Structure formats: C-alpha cells, structure tokens
C-alpha cells in the first residue's frame, strides 16, 4: 500500500509504510507489494519482475546482482554465485555429496560449521550472499514506490528447517529489512489464489512447484485461516535446468557431435543449454523451434517439435509424479479428497507438465496467475494482512505469546509456550494450599514475564464446590485447548470428586503485532529482575507453606511432641517470620532449613498424608 496522507498539524506529507512480500528463490527472486487490495510484482530489472538469484563480485570489488550478474556465469564462474539458497543454514557436510554442482569455491575447513564461499581472497557466508539479492530487490521496490521499505515477509520452502528459516531471517536483517514473518511458499501460492482468505473455509490442496533446479510438492490443509502442512515431497536437484540439459543432450546426438570433446568445452556446453532453455520457453506456446548456432567452424542445427520435446522430458516429469504419489500417501488422504491443485514455478508453463499434473490429480489445476510470480504475490497479501489492511482476516499458525495460569505467589505457570503450533492442548495438575478449601480461583494470563502482574489477564473463574479436604489433597486438573481460531478453552476439574468448570477466552484478538513485540521485548529486558523476584516469591511461598503446616501439625499432634521440641519449634518459627520480613531469599531458606531440622524428628514420627500430599503438586 503506498498511500500518501497529510499530517494536518505540521502540514507535511506522510508516506504510509509499505510491507513487501519477497520470494527468495533458488533460480529467481521477486519482490511484490499490495496496491488497492491487489498484489503487484515490482518490475525490478530490465522491465522484468524476476531477478535471477545470481551475484557477481567484480575484480574491482563491485557487486552485481540479477540480470547484470548472469553473463558472468560463463565468463567468470569462480566469481559468480548462483543457487545460494541451497547453502542457507547448511554445513559443508550437508552439501558435500552435491559439491560438484557448484562451480564456485565452497570452503570445507570445518565440517560442523556453516558453509562459506570463497571469491578471490574474500569469504562470504550464504546469509551475506542472500542479503545482496534482498538489497537489490529492496532498492528496486523503493525506486518504484518512492518510499523507504524496511519491513518484509519472506517465503521459504515448506520443508525448510529452523536453521534455514533463521538464516533467511538474518539475511533480511542484513539487508535492512525487518522480517515480520517467514511463510511457506505453498502457503503464499494458495493465498495468491485467495485460498485460505475466507475464515470459514476448509480445504485440502496440493501445490506443485517446479522451479529451475528444484521440485516441491506440498499437501496443505486449510481450516479457518490456518495452513497446516500435511506432507511435503520433492527432489532438491530436479527442475527446469534438467529439461534444458536433456534437450542439449538430444541436439548433441542429432548433430553427431563427439560428446567427449563437447564436454570439455564448457562455454559451448553452456551456450547449447541456453539455446535449449530458449527453445523450451518457445515450445510452451509454439509447436516447433528452429535455430542454428556455431561451434568452431561447425553449424549446429537446433530443431525440435513440441512432441519431440515431450518425449525427451517425459521421464523427468514422471519422477515428479512419483513424488506426488508419495506426498498424497504421506498425507493419509486420497486424491479425490484434494479440492484444488495450484501450479507454481516457471517450469509449470510447459504444457506437458500441466497436462501430466492434471491427469494425475484428475482435475484442472489453478494456473491463471503467472507461476513465477505467484509466490511473491501471495507473500504481498500476507504482508498486507500484517499491515492491518485486512482486518477481517487472521492467519494464525503459532501462538504469539505464552498462555498460563497464576500459581501461589503471583507466579506465571505456562501451559502453552509461545510459538506452539496451533491447534494444541496442554494440561497439568494443581492442588489447594488451605485446608477445607471449597473454592479455587483460576486466573488465565498471556505473556512472557515470570510474574502474572506483568502479563495480560485474559480471564478469571472459580471452580466451586470442591469437597472440603486437607490442603494438598484435591487433584485439580487444568486443561487448555487452543483451537485453530486462536480461541482458548480452559477447563478445571477436581479429579477426586469430578466437579468441573470451563470457560472460553480469545487470546489473540485485540493484541497488535506491536504489542506482542513490546511484550517480548519487555520480557527480555526484565528477565534478570523477574528471575530474582520469582526466586524471592518462591521462597516466601515455601516458607508460608511450612509455617502453616508446622503450626497445624503442632496443634493436631500435641501429644507426640515434647515440651523441649515445642519450644525449639516456636523459636525457629519466629526466626523464619523475621527472615520473611527481610525479603532476602538466602535468609529465608536458611530459616526454613533450621525449622525443618527442628521439626524433622517428630514429623518423622507421625507423617501425615496431608503433609506428604502437600509436598506434591503446585498450589493455586
Ligand atoms: P525458482 O523457484 O527455483 O527460483 P522459477 O520458478 O523462477 O525458479 O523457475 C525457473 C525455471 O522456469 C527455469 O528453469 C526457466 O527455464 C523456467 N521457465 C521460465 N519460463 C518458462 C517458460 N515459458 N516455459 C518453460 N519453462 C520456463
Ligand atoms: Mg520458487
């Protein structure tokens, strides 16, 4: 959104901030934004939306990205980096088996460390390299929109693990972008088609993504705005490049070229592959392709019909269908249960690919949106949602803040930690702290701080009608169920008597992302102080319990205790009460130990179950 508004107080023009969506691809990358509710891809270079994910470092120390860098793949391969996405979050060990794929130098000095790339006498890590691509995209978008851009949503493959996601986020940071969210590429593609934007929608979809060097199939389940990945499959070394190679190979045959010689002429081989890529693209709309290139004094005839091409690539496309079969199987669904098939990636423009996918899934795939742009466009929609322009929609996949209840001493006891995937549920047992307690107040909080007073109260309710029992004896089970809508249901049940009470709370609503951030920040800043406070409160809580039980014990078992013991106990009780006034946790624990020491002999004599029980479980 690039709205311009006028600040009435100062009379200056304010430009509204723009959050962009970025598809950081293995072969190509794109940046998009939302204009009047519609996603638009930025024409970043050469009037094209796609920017090749290629970085060239000139001898003079200049950094070229995209179309400008591409020609150097042939003329200066050791200073030109491609497919950096394959290195993100990886150690050398992870990629060792594919090291001959890369024509630039990858360092393997320490197998446990993340890989580094060497260009001349400089070393670069994949995060830095990716950040150059992101910077180029950011600059292009800033130029087109004439605003500064510093927030983004970046997409990653669904199978990316934590370190790969973190690396992507860091690359964003390095490029001067705050990455508000990392979302899965198939999720973004679905959003671009409007799937998942309707909250009541329940759908199962397959996203078929055939890019330049990778193939991914993802089966997603969308329910009330939550995207769940049911399964992923694919081949990280299978894509459009393989179609080009297969066609180049075919022409080597039809022109009777000596392969052993061609193989050593890297420049010619590369030109032949580029010619094949050109032919492949033409064949996506035409029925034949013809051109002549030269090799030394030889004329090489490059002729192919669409039919012929389909025969050549059929075994490659067949491999992708095998992956689809596996994905459907792993998702534990049948093909008939799939409601939509979404086509992603430049290579899905090949008519034979569309046709094969259509046959396998037995339905017309969604292919109206440009398959190179669809992921970036979806990311822009997610960005628009995050910027608050689509108030009706929430896309939840994890809980942004922890959920818990208040326990003795005002402490936050977390049942569902932040970043837990939803829907989810958790339960824990608690007990009472006072004899004969028939009512228990249950307070539900959200936040990261140790003390509930610093967190946000969501709800409070009473569990009534607990049969009178000694403190520590009731078994109260508290259950949190957080559904896909972000709605929390809390149930409390006393297990001995079976009495039960429940309540529904909506934790997500009303909290903006900024508030969430603020709360997280506060929890970090206050972590140390919170910890100290928590320790003091824990000590006080423990002391209160011991005082209570000791006094009760003395009353109840007066006959078991000698006068001397009674006197010593009273003295220790006074010490502990004094220690409590100091709020010094060391003094409190010292006094607790002293009291324990004094009461131990007679406590052992008459171990009361209530006390034994009281030592178990946390008290509310
Ligand atoms: P990635 O997601 O891996 O970055 P893309 O989705 O951008 O990759 O796909 C790039 C691939 O798409 C390349 O192999 C390119 O040759 C291929 N491609 C682009 N346009 C066409 C077309 N019109 N017909 C066939 N293949 C195409
Ligand atoms: Mg892609």
Compute, in angstroms, the gap from residue 196 CA to the centroid of ligand 1. 26
Cβ–Cβ < 8 Å for 428, 469: no
- The token pair that represents 426 in the structure block: 């958790």
Which stretch of 129-143, 254-268, 409-423 has the lowest confidence by average pLDDT?
409-423
Whether ligand 1 lies within 6 angstroms of the CB of 155 is answered as no
Q: At which of 523, 539, 570 does a domain end?
A: 523
Residues, Cβ < 5 Å to ion ligand 2: 25, 211
- Residue nearest ligand 1's atom 26 by CA: 347
* Summary mean pLDDT of the chain: 87
CB 340 within 8 A of CB 362: no
Structural domain contains residue 61? yes
Query: Using CA positions, which residue lies closest to atom 24 of ligand 1?
Result: 281
Is 260 in the same domain as 305? yes
Listed in sequence order, the residues at least 6 apart from 114 whose beta carbon sits closer than 8 Å to its beta carbon are: 89, 90, 91, 125, 126, 167
SS3 230: strand
Q: What is the mean pLDDT of residues 497-505?
A: 83
At residue 275, the pLDDT reads: 96
CB atoms within 10 A of CB 333: 17
End-of-domain residue from the set 472, 498, 523: 523
Q: Among 44, 212, 241, 276, say which to mutate for ligand 1: greatest number of ligand atoms within 8 Å of CB.
A: 212
Which domain CATH number covers 424?
2.60.34.10
From the alpha carbon of 27, which atom of ligand 1 is closest?
4
DSSP of 489-549: EEEEEETTT--EEEEEE--STT--HHHHHHHHHHHHHTHHHHHHHHHHHHHHHHHHHHHHH
pLDDT tens profile 70-129: 999 988 999 999 999 999 988 888 888 887 788 899 887 666 677 889 999 898 999 999
Residue range(s) defining the domain that contains residue 461: 403-523
Residues with active-site annotation: 23, 85, 185, 209
- Which ligand 1 atom is nearest residue 243's CA? 14
Residue 276 binned pLDDT confidence (cut-offs 50, 70, 90): very high
Ligand 1: does its nearest atom lie under 6 Å from the Cβ of 25?
A: yes
Instruction: Kindly give the pairing relationship between strand 151-156 and strand 19-24.
Output: parallel
pLDDT score recorded for residue 159: 82
Closest atom of ligand 1 relative to the 240 alpha carbon: 14
Q: What is the pLDDT at residue 247?
A: 98
- Tell me, yes or no, whether 359 lies in a domain: no
For residue 535, pLDDT over 90 is answered with no
Which pLDDT belongs to residue 508? Answer: 41
pLDDT for the residue 225: 74
Our mutation pick for probing the ligand 1 site, out of 27, 84, 370, counting the most ligand atoms within 8 A of Cβ, is 27
Cα(396) to centroid(ligand 2), Å: 23
**Residues 47, 17 share a domain:** yes
Same domain, 448 and 572: no
Distances 440 to 406, 474, 475, 505 between C-alpha atoms, Å: 12, 11, 12, 18
Q: Does residue 319 lie in a domain region?
A: no
- My answer on whether 30 and 146 are in the same domain is yes
**Looking at residue 7, what is its pLDDT?**
46
Domain boundary (319, 353, 386) is at: 386
Identify the CATH number of the domain in which residue 579 sits.
1.20.1270.10
For residues 533 and 553, state if they share a domain: yes
Q: Are 537 and 519 members of one domain?
A: no
332-346, 509-523, 559-573 — most confident range: 332-346
**HEC profile of 283-308:** HCCCCEEEEEEEECCEEEEEEEEHHH
Kindly report, residue by residue over 414-461, the tens digit of the pLDDT.
999 876 776 788 999 999 888 888 888 899 998 888 899 888 888 888
- 130, part of any domain: yes
Q: Tell me the CA–centroid distance for residue 211 and ligand 1, in Å.
A: 5
Domain annotation covers residue 107: yes
One domain, residues 158 and 19 = yes
Which residue's CA is minimally distant from atom 7 of ligand 1? 28
Does 355 fall in a domain? no
- For the chain, how many structural domains are there in total? 4
**Which ligand lies nearest the alpha carbon of 345?**
1
Question: Which residue is associated with the tokens 């409601």?
Answer: 339
| Ligand showing the shortest atom-to-Cα distance for residue 83 | 1
Whose CA is closest to 156, among 147, 165, 148?
Answer: 165
Q: How far is the CA of 26 from the centre of ligand 1 (A)?
A: 11
Residue 10 domain flag: yes
pLDDT band at 182 (very low <50, low <70, confident <90, very high): confident
pLDDT of 617 > 60? The answer is no
Q: What phi-psi label fits residue 227: left (phi over 0), alpha (psi between -120 and 50 degrees) or beta? A: beta
Whether pLDDT at 316 is above 90: yes
Check residue 112 and give its pLDDT.
Answer: 61
Claim to verify: residue 189 and residue 249 sit in the same structural domain: no
H or E element that contains 162: helix 162-174
Note whether 126 and 42 are same-domain residues: yes
Any idea what the CATH number is for the domain that residue 248 is in? Answer: 3.90.640.10
Residue scoring higher pLDDT (95 or 301):
301
Q: Is the CB of 28 under 6 A from ligand 1?
A: yes
Residue 52 is part of a domain; what is its CATH number? 3.30.420.40
| Residues in Cβ contact with 271 at an 8 Å cutoff, skipping those fewer than 6 apart | 74, 293
Average pLDDT over residues 452-471: 86
597 in the same domain as 563:
yes
- With a CB cutoff of 8 Å and minimum separation 6, the contacts of 465 are 438, 497, 499
407 and 552 both lie in a single domain: no
Check whether residue 512 and residue 568 sit in a common domain: no
In a domain? residue 217: no
């Amino acid at each position: 959104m690039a709205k311009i508004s006028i600040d009435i107080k100062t009379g200056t023009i304010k430009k509204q901030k723009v959050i962009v969506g970025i598809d950081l691809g293995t072969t190509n990358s794109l940046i998009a934004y939302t204009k009047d509710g519609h996603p638009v891809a930025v024409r970043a270079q050469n009037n094209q939306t796609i920017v090749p994910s290629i970085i060239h470092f000139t001898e003079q120390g200049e950094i070229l990205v995209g179309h400008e860098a591409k020609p150097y793949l042939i003329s200066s391969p050791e200073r030109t980096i491609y497919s950096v996405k394959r290195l993100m979050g990886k150690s050398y060990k992870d990629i060792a088996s594919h090291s001959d794929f890369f024509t630039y130098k990858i360092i393997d000095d320490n197998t446990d460390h993340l890989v580094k790339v060497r260009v001349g006498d400089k070393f670069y890590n994949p995060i830095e390299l990716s950040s150059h691509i992101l910077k180029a995209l950011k600059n292009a978008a800033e130029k087109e929109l004439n605003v500064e851009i510093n927030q983004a949503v970046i997409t990653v493959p669904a199978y990316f693990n934590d370190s790969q996601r973190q690396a992507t986020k860091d690359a964003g940071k390095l490029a001067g972008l705050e990455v508000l969210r990392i979302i899965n590429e198939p999720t973004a593609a679905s959003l671009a088609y409007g799937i998942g934007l309707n909250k009541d929608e329940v759908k199962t979809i397959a996203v078929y993504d055939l890019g330049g060097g990778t193939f991914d199939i993802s089966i997603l389940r969308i329910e009330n705005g939550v995207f769940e990945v049911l399964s992923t499959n694919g081949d990280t070394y299978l894509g459009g490049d393989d179609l080009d190679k297969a066609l180049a190979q075919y022409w080597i045959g039809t022109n009777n070229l000596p392969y052993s010689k061609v193989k050593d002429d890297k420049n010619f081989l590369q030109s032949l592959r580029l010619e094949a890529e050109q032919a492949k693209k033409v064949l996506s709309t035409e029925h034949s392709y013809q051109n002549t290139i030269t090799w030394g004094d030889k004329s090489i005839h490059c002729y192919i019909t669409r039919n012929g091409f389909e025969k050549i690539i059929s075994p490659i496309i067949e491999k992708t269908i095998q992956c689809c079969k596996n994905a459907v199987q792993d998702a534990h669904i049948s093909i008939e249960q799939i409601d939509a098939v979404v086509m992603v990636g430049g290579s899905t423009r090949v008519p034979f690919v569309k046709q094969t996918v259509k046959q396998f899934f037995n339905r017309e795939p969604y292919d109206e949106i440009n398959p190179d742009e669809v992921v970036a466009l979806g990311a822009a929609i997610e960005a628009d949602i995050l910027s608050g322009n689509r108030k009706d929609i929430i896309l939840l996949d994890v809980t942004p803040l922890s959920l818990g209840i208040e326990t003795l001493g005002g402490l936050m006891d977390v049942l569902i930690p932040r970043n837990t995937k939803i829907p989810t549920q958790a339960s824990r047992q608690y007990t009472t702290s006072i004899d004969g307690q028939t009512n228990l107040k249950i307070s539900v909080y959200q936040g990261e701080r140790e003390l509930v007073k610093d967190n946000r109260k969501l709800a409070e309710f009473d569990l009534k009608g607990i049969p009178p029992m000694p403190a520590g004896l009731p078994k109260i089970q508290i259950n949190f169920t957080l559904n896909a809508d972000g709605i929390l249901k809390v149930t409390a049940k006393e297990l001995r008597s079976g009495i039960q009470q429940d309540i529904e709370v909506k934790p997500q609503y009303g909290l903006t992302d900024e508030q969430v951030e603020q709360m997280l920040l506060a929890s970090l800043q206050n972590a140390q102080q919170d910890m100290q406070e928590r320790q003091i409160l824990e000590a006080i809580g423990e002391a209160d319990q011991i005082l209570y039980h000791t006094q009760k014990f003395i009353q109840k078992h007066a006959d078991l205790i000698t006068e001397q013991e009674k006197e010593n106990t009273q003295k220790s009780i006074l010490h502990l009460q004094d220690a409590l006034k100091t709020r010094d946790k060391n003094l409190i624990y010292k006094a607790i130990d002293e009291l324990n020491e004094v009461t131990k002999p007679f406590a052992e004599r008459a171990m009361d179950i209530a006390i034994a029980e009281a030592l178990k479980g946390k008290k509310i």
